[in-house]
C-alpha cells in the first residue's frame, strides 16, 4: 500500500481538459505504480488561482468533493482555502469537512505562513485534528509575492504547536529548509518538488525522523514513477520506507 499525500486535480486546467475522465486516468495511472490512495486538492478550475475568490474556492472544492465521491476507496480530499476570506474560509472548511473523505486543508500562496491571517485556520485545524498541507519553496531567484519559505512554515508551526503541518516540497526546501523545520516537531515534510537527488531523503530522515517524512508526488505536475524513485532508491530501512510511503499518512489522516 502506498499513499500519495500531495496530488492536484483541476477542471479545465492542463492536463485536465478532459473533465472527469482525467481523474479516472490519474487513479488508473497511480494504481499502476502501486499507489492505492491519493490526497487530492484543486487550486482552481480556471487555472492555478493564487488569490481565488470565495466562489472560485468553492468551485475548486466542489470538484474535489465530486472526485472523492466517485472514488471513495482511493481519493481523499484536501480543502483549498484562501486565508484572506476570514470567517468565510472557516465556513468553507466546515462545509467541506461535512463530507466523508475530506481529511485536510491545502494552503498555497495567497498569503505567507507568517501572516496572522492564517491563524484562525490553523487553530481550527488543530482543534479538529485535520492536517494542513502548506506550500513552501526556498528559491535563489526570489520568492513569489506571498510565497512561504521553510523558515516561514517553521514559524507557523511554532505559533500552532498542536496543529499538524505538512510542508510541501522536500526538494524545494533542500538541506537548509529541512534544518529550518527540524526543531519544530509538528511540521512534517512531503517528498515532492523537483527531480530525485541522492541523499536528500536520507538527510530528511536523519534530521527529522522517518515519522515526519511523507511520500508526495505533486502529480500531475510531476510523474508518479520519478517521484516514487526518490523514496524507493533512498538508503532506508524497510520500516522507515513504510512510514514514508504509508504509515505516517495513516497516522495523521486518522480522522
Binding-site ranges for Zn ion (CB under 5 A) = 218
- Angle, vertex CA 195, rays to CA 32 and CA 27, nearest 5: 25
Supply the minimum distance, in Å, between the C-beta of residue 239 and Zn ion. 28
Supply the minimum distance, in Å, between the C-beta of residue 127 and Zn ion. 25
Question: Whose Cβ is closer to Zn ion: residue 218's or residue 240's?
Answer: 218
Q: How far is CA 143 from CA 55, 80, 128, 193, in A?
A: 27, 21, 31, 15
Question: Whose Cβ is closer to Zn ion: residue 189's or residue 236's?
Answer: 189
Cell of 171: 526538494
Question: Whose Cβ is closer to Zn ion: residue 78's or residue 246's?
Answer: 78
Closest listed residue to residue 166, CA positions, set 176, 147, 153, 182: 153
Question: Whose Cβ is closer to Zn ion: residue 4's or residue 218's?
Answer: 218
Supply the minimum distance, in Å, between the C-beta of residue 84 and Zn ion. 19
Supply the minimum distance, in Å, between the C-beta of residue 177 and Zn ion. 16
Burial class (CB in 10 A: 0-12, 13-18, 19+), 32: exposed
Integer Cα distance of 132 and 81 in angstroms: 10
Question: Whose Cβ is closer to Zn ion: residue 216's or residue 247's?
Answer: 216
**What is the number of the residue whose Cβ is closest to Zn ion?**
218
Q: How many CB atoms lie within 10 A of CB 198?
A: 10
Supply the minimum distance, in Å, between the C-beta of residue 153 and Zn ion. 14
Cell of 109: 500562496
Amino acid at each position: 500500500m502506498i499513499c500519495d499525500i500531495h496530488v492536484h486535480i483541476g477542471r479545465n486546467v492542463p492536463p485536465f481538459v478532459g473533465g472527469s475522465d482525467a481523474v479516472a486516468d490519474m487513479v488508473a495511472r497511480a494504481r499502476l505504480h502501486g499507489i492505492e490512495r491519493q490526497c487530492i486538492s484543486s487550486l482552481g478550475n480556471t487555472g492555478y488561482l493564487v488569490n481565488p475568490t470565495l466562489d472560485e474556492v468553492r468551485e475548486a472544492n466542489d470538484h474535489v468533493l465530486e472526485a472523492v465521491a466517485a472514488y471513495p476507496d482511493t481519493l481523499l480530499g484536501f480543502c483549498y482555502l484562501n486565508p484572506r476570506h476570514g470567517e468565510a474560509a472557516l465556513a468553507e472548511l466546515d462545509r467541506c469537512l461535512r463530507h466523508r473523505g475530506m481529511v485536510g486543508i491545502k494552503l498555497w500562496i495567497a498569503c505567507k505562513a507568517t501572516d496572522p491571517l492564517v491563524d484562525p485556520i490553523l487553530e481550527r485545524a488543530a482543534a479538529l485534528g485535520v492536517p494542513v498541507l502548506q506550500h513552501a519553496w526556498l528559491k535563489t531567484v526570489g520568492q513569489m509575492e506571498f510565497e512561504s519559505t521553510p523558515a516561514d512554515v517553521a514559524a507557523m508551526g511554532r505559533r500552532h504547536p498542536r496543529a499538524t503541518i505538512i510542508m510541501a516540497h522536500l526538494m524545494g526546501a533542500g538541506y537548509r529548509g529541512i534544518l529550518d523545520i527540524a526543531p519544530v516537531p509538528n511540521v512534517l515534510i512531503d517528498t515532492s518538488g523537483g527531480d530525485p537527488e541522492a541523499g536528500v531523503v536520507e538527510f530528511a530522515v536523519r534530521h527529522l525522523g522517518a515519522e515526519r517524512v511523507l511520500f508526495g508526488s505533486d502529480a500531475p505536475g510531476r510523474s508518479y514513477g520519478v517521484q516514487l524513485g526518490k523514496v524507493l532508491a533512498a538508503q532506508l530501512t524497510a520500516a522507515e520506507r513504510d512510514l514514508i510511503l504509508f504509515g505516517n499518512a495513516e497516522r495523521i489522516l486518522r480522522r
